[in-house]
Amino acid sequence: MAIMNIVKDGDEVLRKKSRPVTEITPRIIRLLDDMIETLHDSGGVGLAAPQVGVLRRIAVIEVEPGELIELINPVIVSKKGKQEELEGCLSVPGKWGITKRPYQVTVKALDRNGEEFSVTGEDLLARALCHETDHLDGTLFYDNAIHMLTKEELAELQEED
């Protein structure tokens, strides 16, 4: 396994639509493993393949330690409720915004064995599922932001922590 470089805002790969995975090969498994290691190293909640320069419909999410979700070809199949919460991105360091997202989301995807499964998440997990799925379509969190925090607002929040 290897820690991969995280692509930063401004790189055109982040704005491109990812291709579906048609076959789960050893290369796809290695990509998943490397993405997991990269996610753990970054301290983030989720990571999509375009964020490591790979235009494939793959994402990994770990909202709670030890509860890793691997998503291959994820599709959002239902959305319920609303939430407006703080969101950031490993590819957009230092910037935070308030986004409008569904409170509950269900996603269908394949696991690393090619088995279809679904996952339903609320609150932070719902945001992460939307955020990572957006990456696969070339959308960044600030495209959904209703307010981007100023430097002063960000400093204020950091003082509260």
Q: Which residues are catalytic?
A: 132
Give the single-character DSSP code of 68: -
Beta strands in 7-161 (DSSP E): 46-48, 58-61, 69-80, 83-87, 97-101, 104-110, 116-122, 145-148
- Distance, in Å, from the CA atom of 60 to the CA atom of 63, rounded to the nearest integer, reads 10
Q: How far is CA 104 from CA 29, 78, 81, 91, 124, in A?
A: 29, 8, 6, 24, 9
